[in-house]
Chain A
Amino acid sequence: METIMGVTSQRVSDRTMARLELDDLHAEVAEGGEKILDGVDLEVQSGEIHALMGPNGSGKSTTAKVIAGHPAYEVTEGAVRIHLDEDEFDGVEIPDEMRTWDLLDLEPNERAALGVFLGFQYPAEIEGVTMVNFLRTALNAKLDEREELFEDDEGEAEEADEDAGYETSPMEGDVEEGEVGVAEFQEIMSEKMEQLDMDAEFAQRYLNAGFSGGEKKQNEVLQAAILEPSVAVLDEIDSGLDIDRLQDVSTGINALRDEQGAGILQITHYQRILDYVEPDHVHIMLDGKIAKSGDADLARKLEDEGYDWVREETYETA
């Protein structure tokens, strides 16, 4: 297995450092059995930015979906693991034997609780659910789930509740112990929205309903910023963005790494976004596996020369 280790990442926030590992991952479409992934090996460490490139149909989006646990795909071989590098996760103690998780055994929401985030190429539109309500619910669900996953014995979970120390005021109403209350959440959300240059009115809009393509992508980054993943997989976050929004989104992605210490796996077809979000590593996917890895120069070479040379190189050596 080829191992791609990044530069030693500096710890910049309280975010849990983790390593996402794809090990000889094989997957097919659950209905019909069409093989898509043919042995993907990849590692993304918190604090690193990886770009995943490749021609249409090479398996990039499938990789992203399989990591997140999309039910349309069946993994036939290999593993997806997350290794948590810390002994503590937002105040929840992580026992040694619970540092490594096989994500394929877990539901999508459990994967999210362990710090995996998927930025969708085509985010769903959910009518009638406001952004603020959705994101607060998601954040609290994630915190709850996290506690459940690490719940070794009852005592620890309760302790964790207190440790998390979220402040709530009696005015907020519907707040359970350990949950982020309405007022506190609104503060978090406005701050993140400001960073992304998003209008305050977004908080009250229905989730992605009637959003422009660009607004949806901005919203994906906003969600990542609020949910604070250890590793964010962003599937063509740059498609359909005009130059202004591309800059906003890029600023948001860089902040995920620089301020929160998240690892980024960015799927893209274009060099354009990589000018703003400089990758530490670039991987080229061909026919369901990583054909070539390199640094930022590799992406620039692709921009000039396309994929043909990679294909030739890959099949010559094979």
Chain B
Amino acid sequence: MSSDQDHLRETDSEKRFEFKKEQNAAFAAEKGELDEETIRLISEDKDEPEWMLERRLRALRQFHAMPMPTDWPSQPDLSEVDVKEIVPYIRPDVDMRGSVDDWTELPDEIKDTFDKLGIPEAEKNALSGVGAQYESEVVYQNMQERWEEKGVIFCNMDKAVQDHPELVKEHFMTSCVPPSDNKFAALHGAIWSGGSFVYVPEGVTVEMPIQAYFRMNSEGMGQFEHTLIIAEENSEVHYIEGCSAPQYSKFNLHSGGVEVFVGENAHVQYSTVQNWSKNTYNLNTKRAICESEGTMEWISGSMGSKATMLYPSTILKGRGATDNHITIAFAGEGQDIDTGAKVYHNAPDTKSTIESKSISKDGGRTNYRGLIHISDGAENSSTSVECDALMFDNESTSDTMPYMEIEESKVDVAHEATVGKIGDEDVFYLQSRGLDDDDAKQMIVAGFIEPITEELPIEYAVELNRLIELEMEGSLG
């Protein structure tokens, strides 16, 4: 505990987020029009089977056919996103196919990068597997043997395509997030690379959280990792994804895809703390399908980025399925963080709760955009939505757009929203006890998000709090 916190303190300085490594990329797709040839090149480099190439090409056609989304009310400005400008695929100059499973095998340069992100510390603390994405390849993965004995699979998504084709073929961008879902899902389907594959067999509980830490580290590159989690009947797993990106002079695009299959009476928790550099467009599609009596939990901390559009969604497909969403967003100067949650109640006795907290400062904007859909026949379903926004000053903005589509009459719907400015009296109270102005505000913010941080493992709670402190000190660019 102690050494972990010391380590975080040592590594949480400004430079931690500004370093950038010289990269000798072994392969980089040429900048230019995203065409079939590029896609074939990516697929070929990965030695992919024909069916995956087909899926990529179909997604590419859908991407070109779909218009850029511009018609959502008050949506973030995406006019600067130009896919042509992004080198979509770079892999680090590591001699590897598949993964390295021993820390010492990694090149020093990469170890150094991870050191700054605190990865080895998490490893030392025996938080079971750590999968870390460096550039677009998973170069380091580790998994405890006892999981393997139970039949749990945790590997690089590219590796899963090779080793577990049947599972991937059935679940990869089919019923959960088809490429047709939105333009960036289609783009993702065409050029996805890396990410994690998690399979938990029937009746198996994975006791410790499975972790993956992603980051981008090359100017002008996109990150399109795909995460596929399959939790069979009566299984249980907690997956944690963390992102941190260094600063760049040009814009970056992150467009990840996450698909989660929650089997009957299974329980999946997906936690993420994201911290993209302030020029990143963070446009993700994350969705779960939840069978009867299953439980899906989304916990998201959205920090950083120039603009984020992220609405993890859950389809409550089976009777008695449950969804819980906990989200936190922070927007500083020049940031537009548009996040929320979507839940489709498609069966009776389904239940959802959404708790959203957002903080805006120095002219930043947060928006909660959510949808609750309760289908005709989904009787005795209940939903509760609570959105709280905290603004630091009069220049900052916070909006709430909670859409509800209720087709069934026998349901229980609760909605509550609060928007407030940080209270001068509260700040003065804490100051009168010895805290300076900044510390007082930080303490109020830490308290505001406490319901969320208390759900996170300690390392991530510390990380999230430190990130917010750094944001508030203005030391992150």
Is A68's CB within 8 Å of the partner chain B? Answer: yes
CA distance A138 to B434 in the complex (A): 5
Q: What are the residues of chain B within 8 A of A206 when measuring CB–CB?
A: 447, 450
Q: What are the residues of chain B within 8 A of A129 when measuring CB–CB?
A: 443-444, 446-447, 450
Contact, CB under 8 Å: A128 / B449? yes
Q: When A128-B446, A128-B449 are in contact, do A123 and B435 touch as well, CB less than 8 Å?
A: no
CA distance A174 to B1 in the complex (A): 9
- 1/0 per position for B421-463, CB-CB distance to A under 8 A? 0011110111111111101100110111111000000000000
Of A120, A127, A128, A171, which is within 8 A of B429 by CB?
A: A120
Please report which residues of chain B, range 320-357, place their CB below 8 angstroms from some CB of chain A when the two chains form the complex.
none
Of A69, A109, A127, A138, which is within 8 A of B450 by CB?
A: A127
Is B174's CB within 8 Å of the partner chain A? Answer: no
Contact, CB under 8 Å: B434 / A127? no
Contact, CB under 8 Å: B443 / A227? no
Contact, CB under 8 Å: B446 / A138? no
Contact, CB under 8 Å: B447 / A126? yes
Of A69, A127, A135, A141, which is within 8 A of B439 by CB?
A: A141
Contact, CB under 8 Å: B447 / A127? yes
Please report which residues of chain B, range 357-386, place their CB below 8 angstroms from some CB of chain A when the two chains form the complex.
none
Of B425, B439, B450, which is within 8 A of A124 by CB?
A: B425
- Kindly report which residue of chain B lies nearest to residue A233, judged by CB atoms: B432
Is B475's CB within 8 Å of the partner chain A? Answer: no
Contact, CB under 8 Å: A69 / B432? yes
Q: What are the residues of chain A within 8 A of B431 when measuring CB–CB?
A: 69, 107-109, 112
CA distance A230 to B318 in the complex (A): 65
Of A71, A118, A127, A174, which is within 8 A of B424 by CB?
A: A71
Contact, CB under 8 Å: B437 / A139? no
Size of chain A's interface in residues, with CB distance under 8 A? 37
Q: What are the residues of chain B within 8 A of A138 when measuring CB–CB?
A: 430, 433-435
Contact, CB under 8 Å: B426 / A126? yes
Is A53's CB within 8 Å of the partner chain B? Answer: no
Is B125's CB within 8 Å of the partner chain A? Answer: no
Contact, CB under 8 Å: B444 / A109? no
Contact, CB under 8 Å: A126 / B443? yes
Of A107, A123, A128, A207, which is within 8 A of B436 by CB?
A: A107
> Could you tell me the distance in whole angstroms from the C-beta of B38 to the nearest C-beta in chain A?
48
- 1/0 per position for A221-251, CB-CB distance to B under 8 A? 0010001000000000000000000000000
Q: What are the residues of chain B within 8 A of A171 when measuring CB–CB?
A: 2
Q: What are the residues of chain B within 8 A of A72 when measuring CB–CB?
A: 424
Contact, CB under 8 Å: B428 / A70? yes
CA distance A164 to B447 in the complex (A): 30
> Could you tell me the distance in whole angstroms from the C-beta of A85 to the nearest C-beta in chain B?
21
CA distance A142 to B440 in the complex (A): 13
CA distance A70 to B432 in the complex (A): 9
- 1/0 per position for A126-137, CB-CB distance to B under 8 A? 111100001101
Q: What are the residues of chain B within 8 A of A128 when measuring CB–CB?
A: 446-451
Contact, CB under 8 Å: A109 / B447? no
Contact, CB under 8 Å: A118 / B432? yes
CA distance A139 to B435 in the complex (A): 9
Is B24's CB within 8 Å of the partner chain A? Answer: no
Q: What are the residues of chain A within 8 A of B450 when measuring CB–CB?
A: 127-129, 206
Q: When A126-B444, A141-B435, A142-B434 are in contact, do A173 and B429 touch as well, CB less than 8 Å?
A: no
> Could you tell me the distance in whole angstroms from the C-beta of B448 to the nearest C-beta in chain A?
6
- 1/0 per position for A204-229, CB-CB distance to B under 8 A? 00110000000000000001000100
Q: What are the residues of chain A within 8 A of B435 when measuring CB–CB?
A: 109, 137-138, 141
Tell which of A128, A145, A207, A227 has the most Cβ of chain B within 10 Å.
Answer: A128
Is A155's CB within 8 Å of the partner chain B? Answer: no
CA distance A236 to B432 in the complex (A): 17
CA distance A124 to B431 in the complex (A): 12
Q: When A127-B448, A129-B447 are in contact, do A172 and B2 touch as well, CB less than 8 Å?
A: yes
CA distance A68 to B447 in the complex (A): 24
Contact, CB under 8 Å: B430 / A227? no
CA distance A170 to B446 in the complex (A): 25
CA distance A245 to B436 in the complex (A): 32
> Could you tell me the distance in whole angstroms from the C-beta of A111 to the nearest C-beta in chain B?
8
> Could you tell me the distance in whole angstroms from the C-beta of A68 to the nearest C-beta in chain B?
5
Is A22's CB within 8 Å of the partner chain B? Answer: no
Is B5's CB within 8 Å of the partner chain A? Answer: yes
Q: What are the residues of chain B within 8 A of A285 when measuring CB–CB?
A: none
Q: What are the residues of chain B within 8 A of A223 when measuring CB–CB?
A: 433
Listed in ascending order, the chain B residues whose CB lies under 8 Å from chain A are 1-2, 5, 423-426, 428-437, 439-440, 443-444, 446-451
A124-B429, A128-B446 given; 20 more Cβ-contact pairs under 8 Å? A70-B428, A71-B424, A108-B428, A108-B432, A117-B432, A120-B429, A120-B432, A124-B430, A126-B444, A127-B447, A128-B448, A134-B443, A135-B433, A137-B443, A141-B435, A170-B2, A173-B2, A206-B447, A206-B450, A207-B447
Contacts A/B (CB < 8 Å), 5 sampled: A69-B428, A120-B432, A126-B429, A138-B435, A142-B433
Listed in ascending order, the chain A residues whose CB lies under 8 Å from chain B are 68-72, 107-109, 111-113, 117-118, 120, 123-124, 126-129, 134-135, 137-139, 141-142, 145, 170-174, 206-207, 223, 227
- Closest 9 A/B residue pairs (Cβ): A128-B447, A128-B450, A142-B434, A124-B429, A129-B447, A108-B431, A138-B433, A112-B434, A173-B2
